[in-house]
Amino acid sequence: MNRRSLGPLLLGVVLVFLSLASSRRADAYAWMIRHDYQSCTTCHADPSGAGILTLYGRAQSEVLLRTRWGKVAEDEDPAKLGGFMFGLVPLPEQLNLQADVRTLLLHVRPPSPAPSQTRYIIMQADAAAAVASGPIRAAATLGYVHEGALAASLTRGAEDRLISRQHWAGFVFGKDDQFMIRAGRMNLPFGIRMIEHTLFTRVATRSDINAAQQHGLAFSWNQDKWRAEAMGILGNFQVRPDDLRERGAAGYIEYGLTPTLAAGVSSRITHANYDLDTQRATFRQAHGVFGRYAVAKPVVVLAELDLLARSPKRRELDLGATGFVQVDIEPTQGLHLAPTLEVLTNKLGDEGAALGGWLSAWWFFLPHLDVRGDVIVQSLPAGTDRATVTSFLAQFHGWL
């Protein structure tokens, strides 16, 4: 394949990347294991993490997450400043509210002759609410997007739509509320839950927290060193027609070997009557292992490796693999440097694997405010050649 014919192909790759990057969630920090936080239930309404924070989670965002300027006053109450509207609007104990706005300046450089592109994107404009009353638990989000996040749409149209990434209700039971049963639209329980939803691994396993949520029934368990969740997937009812909806099951189980080391396995099997990639009925599977390890308090290693399988009707089984390693370094509280390496192959043994490298810097510099910059270099197979796409991202995030 010559370079001239590569142009349209790479432009298509860039446009796919842009659509994926158009609305990013910002809630899952698996590197909190550096503070001995393995379970997610104390800080999030979702038992597997991500999404709206509890009052305790808000307080920890002040104590452990952001940069602390000057000496902390003895009478300072972190729960108040971390609270809704900086604590200016007190809420009932049973109710949590949250609003997030995240914007992105994105510049993508594909190989010539495809032109570079620069775009300003509102990635996130969501309001969320969570209720915890007795054994009852419920949470829901409502947001706006100019483009992207089609799988989460509540309204029709190519642009300017209302979306709901999550809406679910359930109840807890058992000692210390260790079990939860819930139903609704939820994040899939699979692998490491993280905000970098354009990672090859999150895209290939269809488990990102941007718009890949599914409707279904879920059972979760959090006790001591163990955490697990299993979900029966009934399909994404916000996608039409019904033949596009995936149905099946997903789940994970993780064990804390030490307070700063946890490892787990996860699995996902789904079927759709019509798969947009294969254009026919298709089974998809993903099975893998993952781990989180705080080597020292400033350094956390996150890693995941998954086997992929795709079985289109009346076609041969395709086997692939994907994985990543990320090292989160926090030289001072609130400032994070995170190099990441990733790989994806749709056919094992094929030399045409997609490779990627991220260099990220992230600063939680004030209460409810953070900024982030990423340089992403991806080496993509293009016939017998390879091509490099470089992306530069600058993000600003504020939440109440």
pLDDT above 50: residue 21? no
pLDDT above 60: residue 244? yes
pLDDT above 90: residue 290? yes
Domain boundaries, the chain: 3-70+79-399
Superfamily of domain 3-70+79-399: Porin (2.40.160.10)
pLDDT of residue 63: 86
Reported as a pLDDT band with limits 50, 70 and 90, residue 26 is very low
pLDDT above 60: residue 7? no
pLDDT above 80: residue 151? yes
Q: How many CA atoms lie within 13 A of 48 on its CB side?
A: 28
> What's the predicted TM-score (pTM) here?
0.89
Reported as a pLDDT band with limits 50, 70 and 90, residue 280 is very high
Q: Are 345 and 352 in contact (CB under 8 A)?
A: yes
pLDDT of residue 346: 85
Reported as a pLDDT band with limits 50, 70 and 90, residue 72 is low
pLDDT of residue 75: 65
List pLDDT tens digits, range 305-353. 999 999 999 888 999 999 999 999 999 999 999 999 999 998 876 768 9
Span 125-151, average pLDDT: 94
